[in-house]
Structure 1
Amino acid sequence: MAIAIIAEYNPFHNGHIYQLEYVKKNFPNDKIFVILSGKYVQRGEMAVASFEQRKKIALEYGADYVVELPFEYATQAAHIFASGALKIINDLKIDKIIFGSESNDVNNLIKIAETIYFNEQVYNKLLKANLKNGFSFPNASSKALSELTGEKIIYPNDILGLEYVKAIVFNNYKITPFTLKRTVAYHSQETNNQFASASLIRKMIFANQDVSEYTPMKFNFLPDRIENYYAKFQKIVRETPASELSKNPMISEGMENLFKKNIDAKSYEEFVEICTSRRYTSSRIKRVMLYVLLEKHKEK
């Protein structure tokens, strides 16, 4: 028997230690597998520590195995991220998964996933209509979910958790999902005793502040970050014809022209802000920027 945790550990922190200890206590007979993102993470950013560093510390604190989540899943939107991770878990014949949740109501997530499954055509019709009306994919899917079920899933971990459960339901995987209440709110800028969100810890790391109260990881120098490559990104966009940019697997709906139009923005942050809209979330813009930087092309 085994249980999986899907993680970025960006960075590994006390909340992750709490989760691993909870799993060891409540699932004592299960091997713990961590499905871990590599160098690049879901929001199109670089992890603050290498995969090997994060793998090593996960094993030190109780994981039995760490498996790398391939780039093509790790750097995608929630539904693709979840689908790829669950496929790996199923292939490894792992029979349980546990994830952080704001609501901590796994039965409700299962009910919602099953409702979508048994009404898939209706859901897809609502989703397409919302996308046509200019909503981003996350907002379009949230609106379709609300219209279909009357439920609103608004918190990030519950949104991702629902995608995990949907992957299980839609593929008939023999995997049982479990949830664990989060110790602090996602992206919270406030601490809770020894707990802090990964986003706050990253902010502190890049401000060269002491983070030892919240994470066992050591940062003796500033990690590399995607913002440092904005000039290279500008050069690629300026020198690459729009028709060639459009071959990037993440670019659609004329996004190549949006990038060309705004490429003179002074900084990475300014470029993301200018390009973000109702249709394009900042996370999607960052993911596309990463794929452009790495000069990915659509498979022929």
Structure 2
Amino acid sequence: MRNRKIYASLLSSGRKEPAMTVTALIAEYNPFHNGHAYHIREARRLTGADFLLVLMSGDFVQRGEPAVIEKSARAEMAVRCGADLVLELPVCYASGSAEYFAGGAVALLNALHCVDYLCFGSECGNLAILQAAARILSAEPDAFRQKLQKLLRQGLSFPAARQEALAWYLAQEPSIPVSNVIPDDPSGCHFTDRHAALGGSSDLLRELTSILSQPNNILAIEYLKALIMSGSSIKPVTIQRVGGGYHDTAVGELCSATALRRLFSEIQQKDAPASCAASSGDFPRQLAASVPAEVCNILSDSWQRTFPVFPDDFSAMLHYRLLTAESWQSYAACFDVPEAAARRIFQMRHAFTSFSSFVQLIKTRNFTEALVRRALLHILLGLPQPESTEPERFPVYYARILGLRRSSGALFEQIKKADKFRFSQNSLTPIK
């Protein structure tokens, strides 16, 4: 009853502008840091958004791991740092491949019927290049597919072959100036002209391959591809990533989430829980420059109680799931677990010692580390394969609200009109 009164007051007090601008962000916040706060500020500024809606992974993330801190705490971080509403991306999408992650997220945003912009980060910050790549992957022209098959026959893994084939095809795309790829090129030539002028040199291909290998660019292309293939009316906007790269491990004012997770792991291994929990200890002092003050408070309060969480914390549960399976088919029945990978996991299950070490044992040239992590996570969670009769590739049936600002009543009212699925609120309390 209390929650009903809260939401009734939200709806009655919210703004009622007939034409409000809603900008969506898709994120993990694993954990939230200064770069994420910058993204929120820039997204609102660039799009003139009345409301910022964040679609966030829950307790498991796209790397095929548990989030380092639970979802409600991360949602609170987002709201306290500028988001108006945080919805949960269902776990089958949140823990899927980049294509599935992006496809499911865009499908959910489309179903809300209120999102005007999707704003995402990228290393290159160049929407034209990213859109050109997305169009190629959406249409899969014959020349691209033939090049891809040739590279696969040469022994490249699918991700590597697709990246190389895409760079090769994109280098011949006449619609984008070379200056978008090589900024100091004074000629203003198009890709085809530049490629011809170089006499077949690999300089351009090397630049494109570098762009297409960066993780945020890869995910950005998948977002754009999902928008294209779904016929979405949502307009894309990209913001160039600032500070540390995705895989950088140096901790600073603008560092990566990878660096923070590594810091948490190192502190946990080095120090006793009691020394880490103190507000004057190494943990808060090292973290203070890398995250907003509101986030630092939440992390400090949760330290060594519900945070941090790492894959090996689930080792015993995963080991049990592996040993109680009657055959490899039990693994293959789980979402996104290839049959060959299921066979290999079943054959080697008795060599299991921990989640992380088993990933290293199972991975091969054909089974990347990311694929293996996701496969093991889906086995652990018992996520089933989607029904073959499903009419949509990325079906969405519900949206779970993880956090909202008390002043976001108009947005909340608007999304409640989406009749495609139900909304789950649980025991959520709005944040001022």
Which TM-score applies when normalising by structure 1? Answer: 0.91
1:248 to 326, 334, 350: 334
- Higher Rg of the two aligned structures: 2
Specify the code of the residue in structure 2 equivalent to 1:260.
F
Give the distance between the partners of 2:384 and 2:26, measured in 1 at CA.
27
Residues 74 and 129 of structure 1, relative CA distance in 2, 3 Å threshold: farther
Identify the residue that residue 260 of structure 1 maps to in structure 2.
346
Q: How big is the shift at 1:246?
A: 2.4
Instruction: Point out 4+ residue stretches in structure 1 off by more than 6 angstroms.
Output: none
Instruction: Tell me whether 1:106 sits opposite 2:127 in the alignment.
Output: yes
Contact (CA 8 Å) 2:251, 2:260: kept in 1 or not?
no
Structure 2: unaligned runs, 5 residues or longer: 1-20, 172-207, 268-282, 388-432
Give the distance between the partners of 2:87 and 2:53, measured in 1 at CA.
7
- Which aligned pairs between 1:122-201 and structure 2 lie closer than 5 A? 122-124=143-145, 126-127=147-148, 130=151, 135-150=156-171, 151-152=208-209, 153-183=212-242, 184-192=244-252, 194-201=253-260
Give the distance between the partners of 2:107 and 2:32, measured in 1 at CA.
24
Relative contact order (alpha carbons < 8 A, sep ≥ 6): 1 or 2 greater? Answer: 2
How many residues matched?
299
CA deviation digits over 1:56-114, x for unaligned, max 9? 12111111111111111101000110111111222223121111111111111112222
Instruction: Tell me whether 1:214 sits opposite 2:290 in the alignment.
Output: yes
Give the distance between the partners of 1:90 and 1:121, measured in 2 at CA.
30
Instruction: Tell me whether 1:10 sits opposite 2:30 in the alignment.
Output: yes
Specify the code of the residue in structure 1 equivalent to 2:129.
N
Q: How big is the shift at 1:291?
A: 0.9
2:68 to 32, 44, 48: 48
1:58 to 75, 78, 84: 78
Specify the code of the residue in structure 2 equivalent to 1:283.
A
Residues 269 and 118 of structure 1, relative CA distance in 2, 3 Å threshold: closer
Contact (CA 8 Å) 1:134, 1:278: kept in 2 or not?
no
Contact (CA 8 Å) 2:120, 2:220: kept in 1 or not?
yes
Identify the residue that residue 364 of structure 2 maps to in structure 1.
277
Give the distance between the partners of 1:253 and 1:236, measured in 2 at CA.
17
Identify the residue that residue 321 of structure 2 maps to in structure 1.
236
> Which is further off, 176-185 or 279-288?
176-185
Specify the code of the residue in structure 1 equivalent to 2:162.
S
Q: How big is the shift at 1:4?
A: 1.0
Match of 1:199, SS state, is helix
Contact (CA 8 Å) 1:24, 1:62: kept in 2 or not?
no
Match of 2:61, SS state, is coil
Identify the residue that residue 39 of structure 1 maps to in structure 2.
59
Structure 1: unaligned runs, 5 residues or longer: none
Identify the residue that residue 95 of structure 1 maps to in structure 2.
116
Give the distance between the partners of 2:156 and 2:335, measured in 1 at CA.
20
1:289 to 372, 376, 392: 376
1:223 to 308, 315, 326: 308
Give the distance between the partners of 1:5 and 1:137, measured in 2 at CA.
28
1:203 to 249, 253, 262: 262
Specify the code of the residue in structure 2 equivalent to 1:214.
S
Calculate the aligned-residue CA RMSD, in Å.
Answer: 2.2
Q: Percent identity?
A: 29
Contact (CA 8 Å) 2:334, 2:383: kept in 1 or not?
yes
Contact (CA 8 Å) 2:319, 2:352: kept in 1 or not?
no
Residues 267 and 14 of structure 1, relative CA distance in 2, 3 Å threshold: same
Match of 2:161, SS state, is helix
Which TM-score applies when normalising by structure 2? Answer: 0.64
Specify the code of the residue in structure 1 equivalent to 2:259.
L
Give the distance between the partners of 2:30 and 2:374, measured in 1 at CA.
16
Instruction: Tell me whether 1:74 sits opposite 2:161 in the alignment.
Output: no
Give the distance between the partners of 2:152 and 2:372, measured in 1 at CA.
17
